[in-house]
Amino acid sequence: MAMQTVSRKKPLAVMMSARANVFYLQYAKVCQDGDRVVYWVNDDGTGKAFNIPDKNTAFVMLGKGTSITDAAARKLAESGVLVGFCGNGGSPLFSTVSHVFLEPHSEYRPTEYMQRWVKLWFDESARFAAAKIILIERIGITKNFWVSLHGIEIPLQMEERFKSRIETASNTTELLTSEAEWAKGVYATLARKYKISDFTRQEGKGSVASNSDAVNGMIDHGNYIAYGYAATVLTTLGISYALPLLHGKTRRGALVFDVADLIKDAVVLPMAFKFAAKGESDQEFRYALIDLCWEQRILDLLFETIKKLVP
């Protein structure tokens, strides 16, 4: 009997905007096992290995006590997965290669969006108009998510004031000033909703002595997850992080922060206040946030929003 030749095809990668998985790992070793990428909870490679479905993963955050082998890094890069080294809970991110994430290297990364973005960026009036658009989009996304997911109404006066100041702004400094006022209003609205009267935003707050401290910690962790989604979108489109619309032009990762702001108010902040008020842990918050981002198709939303800026 003649032997039948079986053709083994490599599994196809899921389109980036539809990828379901995001990983945050602590005290684990990431390595390649055959044709899989796995992580061991014991860094000596003993015990049970857990699979990382690289073809359906957007990004991986490696926290305290975590290592990765070169073979696993290569495998993840082949599937377009971003990898970021970070501190406890996902913040801060450490990465000396691109300041935000270690990007998968590819000579075939698309160029069309980068070329359009450069054309926009070097036209001062076009860049300023795009900055206004991204802020208006931010308001709409936040308003929609707050009402549909949390039953929270944005105060009409606050919304109208921010929109008016965006429309009348004549330079980026004025946009940033109005954005800072909007942010204060967002914090105040959520603090009232979840009865956290002593809240003051303090980035990098390590203590968890109060609900306010817990909110600050969760916001820090959630922000870096938002940066992961933003970096994934920009890397997939081939747009450099160094060409921002609002954040400082001297910061190489500034465009990541601009894009992440589209979803921070909408999904990160209300979840942080809600989970801190309920006394939930940082880990429970991260799991719920990642699940929510998948359910609400955050990658799709960011892809479409950025594409609209460079049609």
Per-residue pLDDT of the chain (311 residues; tens, 9 = 90+): 344 444 445 567 788 888 889 999 988 999 999 999 999 886 555 668 899 999 999 999 888 888 999 999 989 988 889 888 887 755 554 443 344 456 665 555 678 999 999 999 999 999 999 999 999 999 999 999 999 999 999 999 999 999 999 999 999 999 999 999 999 999 999 999 999 988 999 887 766 778 999 999 999 999 989 998 998 899 889 898 889 999 876 566 789 999 999 999 999 999 999 999 999 999 999 999 999 999 999 999 999 999 999 98
Amino acid at 306: I
Q: In what order do the strands lie in the sheet with 67-68?
A: 49-52, 36-40, 29-33, 67-68
**Strands 57-62 and 82-86, sheet pairing:** parallel
Choose which CATH entry (1.10.8.80, 3.30.110.30, 3.40.50.720, 3.100.10.20) describes domain 16-94: 3.100.10.20
Considering only CA atoms, which of 190, 143, 185, 182 is closest in space to residue 166? 182
Architecture of the structural domain at 112-309 = Up-down Bundle (1.20)
The Cβ of residue 134 has, within 10 Å, a number of other Cβ atoms equal to 21
- Sequence ranges of the chain with CATH classification 3.100.10.20: 16-94
Pairing assessment for the beta strands 93-94 and 82-86 based on DSSP bridges: antiparallel
Query: How far apart are alpha carbons 61 and 28 in whole angstroms?
Result: 11
Going by the DSSP 8-state scheme, the letter that residue 17 receives in this structure is G
d(CA 57, CA 238): 18
pTM: 0.81
CA distances from 116 to 128, 254, 308, 310 (A): 15, 18, 11, 6
Q: Nearest 10 degrees: CA dihedral of 221, 223, 229, 230? A: -150
Q: What residues does CATH 1.20.120.920 cover in the chain? A: 112-309
